[in-house]
Amino acid sequence: MADLSTNIAGVPLPNVFFNASGVWCQHEHELQALLESQSGSLITKSATFEPREGNPSPRYLPIPNGSINSMGLPNEGYEYYLNYARKFDYSHTKPLFISLSGLSLADNVKMVEAFVAADLPCMLEINFSCPNVPGKPQLGYDIEAMDNALATLAPLVKKPFGIKLPPYFDIAHFDQVAGVCQKYDNLAFLTCVNSVGNGLAIDFETETALIKPKDGFGGLGGAMILNTALANVNAFHRRLPGKQVIGVGGVTSGKEAFLHILAGASAVQIGTQLKEEGPALFERLNKELSDIMMAKGYNSIEDFRGKVKTL
Ligand code: RRO
């Protein structure tokens, strides 16, 4: 096996792979399955201040080349994940990431304060990009509001932390978001990308939207978003040399993970493919990435990370 180990904000991971928040991580039994898998880490479902049931079903479906979802932030409420983080065995080789997605800045402040007070060695990934709560635009597409949120949250968190960003599609937006991120020293990593928001999947025979919430509009994930994800990983990797990028989007095999790392990713999260294949996926991905690295003569992730060539 090649060495697939990495680190995020100085915290070691035995390999680069873990779940994308939202997949296999709402309940303790799912988190336990991730712990028992060959993932390199695990992250919890984005938490809100209060528990939420989320949107009506059907709210996730695999579609050709990917998936569509409008889950609507179903989660057990932040105290559930705080309790899980308190009980977590930190002597385990895998670090624990906690995703927070307050419905307001005030909620994010209260949740961050609770985690800071608990003083646990888990890492926070604050979700600025949930596309599926009716009436709540994504913070990641309001750059001023994101700057304002970071100005409040970064000093509160104190420790290194990360944010989950939506995909951007314009060079000016890459520049503006990188400019905001650059202002916050303890913003250590950017997780790129959340689902491509507000796609619409329609059944040809029944002429009906495939998912129920929001008239069928939902976030797109899986193979169809690989190139958008790679561009976002690379755009922020190039602009923010002092920060790390966690790549997510379109990884179905070791090959796409290799491409994410070439683009600059320091770790790789899996959403749609984990949902479809289950946690046994991680064993396959480790083997496939290792085989690619050995065939190409790379011994470690740092041998090729960020080294994509351009013409
Ligand atoms: O729960 C969701 O609907 C959801 C969230 Br919070 C998110 O960040 N990304 C996504 O595709 N779905």
> Could you read off the pLDDT of 158-207 as tens digits, one per residue?
999 999 999 999 999 999 999 999 999 999 999 999 999 999 999 999 99
- Distance (angstroms) between ligand 1 centre and the Cα of 195 equals 7
| Per-residue buried b or exposed e for 76-112, using 16+ beta carbons within 10 Å of the residue's own CB | bebebbbebbeebeeeeebbbbbbbbbbeeebbeebb
- Distance (angstroms) between ligand 1 centre and the Cα of 275 equals 13
Catalytic, out of 25, 130, 181, 192: 130
For ligand 1, residues with CB inside 6 Å are: 22, 46, 69-73, 101, 127, 129-132, 194-195, 219
Per-residue model confidence as pLDDT tens digits over 77-97: 999 999 999 999 999 999 999
Per-residue model confidence as pLDDT tens digits over 243-300: 999 999 999 999 999 999 999 999 999 999 999 999 999 999 999 999 999 999 999 9
Among 6-10, 134-138, 206-210, the minimum mean pLDDT is found in: 134-138
Q: Which atom of ligand 1 is nearest to the CA of 197?
A: 11
- Distance (angstroms) between ligand 1 centre and the Cα of 133 equals 8
Our answer to whether residue 122 is catalytic in this structure is no
Q: Which atom of ligand 1 is nearest to the CA of 101?
A: 6
Structure confidence at residue 132 (pLDDT): 85
Structure confidence at residue 30 (pLDDT): 98
The mean pLDDT value for 223-251 works out to 99
Structure confidence at residue 97 (pLDDT): 99
Structure confidence at residue 130 (pLDDT): 87
User: Per-residue confidence at 28, pLDDT binned at 50, 70, 90?
Assistant: very high
What does the alpha-carbon distance between residue 3 and residue 298 come to, in Å, rounded to a whole number?
A: 9
**Residue of 130, 136, 275 to mutate, ligand 1, most atoms within 8 A of C-beta:** 130
Q: Which atom of ligand 1 is nearest to the CA of 75?
A: 1
What does the alpha-carbon distance between residue 236 and residue 229 come to, in Å, rounded to a whole number?
A: 11
Q: Which atom of ligand 1 is nearest to the CA of 55?
A: 3
Among 37-46, 134-143, 212-221, 235-244, the minimum mean pLDDT is found in: 134-143
- Residue 23, pLDDT above cutoff 90: yes
- Distance (angstroms) between ligand 1 centre and the Cα of 123 equals 19
- Residue 238, pLDDT above cutoff 90: yes
Helix (H, G, I), strand (E, B) or coil at 107: helix
**Residue of 46, 67, 103, 225 to mutate, ligand 1, most atoms within 8 A of C-beta:** 46
Q: Which atom of ligand 1 is nearest to the CA of 45?
A: 6
What would the two tokens of residue 205 be?
A: 């025979």
Nearest CA to ligand 1 atom 8: 130
Per-residue model confidence as pLDDT tens digits over 119-162: 999 999 999 998 788 887 899 999 999 999 999 999 999 999 99
What does the alpha-carbon distance between residue 269 and residue 262 come to, in Å, rounded to a whole number?
A: 15
- Distance (angstroms) between ligand 1 centre and the Cα of 129 equals 8
What does the alpha-carbon distance between residue 57 and residue 211 come to, in Å, rounded to a whole number?
A: 7
- Distance (angstroms) between ligand 1 centre and the Cα of 70 equals 7
Query: Whole-model pTM?
Result: 0.98
The mean pLDDT value for 228-234 works out to 99
Q: Which of 17, 18, 15 is nearest to 2 (CA)?
A: 15
Per-residue model confidence as pLDDT tens digits over 100-125: 999 999 999 999 999 999 999 999 99
What would the two tokens of residue 228 be?
A: 């958008």
Structure confidence at residue 52 (pLDDT): 98
Q: Would you give the distance in Å from CA 103 to the centre of its chain?
A: 18
- H or E segment to which residue 52 belongs: none
Domains identified in the chain and CATH numbers: 6-53+73-197+223-303 (3.20.20.70)
Instruction: Give the contacts of 301 (CB within 8 A, at least 6 positions apart).
Output: 3, 4, 5, 6, 16, 261, 266
**Residue of 44, 60, 69, 224 to mutate, ligand 1, most atoms within 8 A of C-beta:** 69
Helices (H), the chain: 28-36, 78-87, 105-118, 143-157, 171-182, 226-239, 254-263, 272-277, 281-296
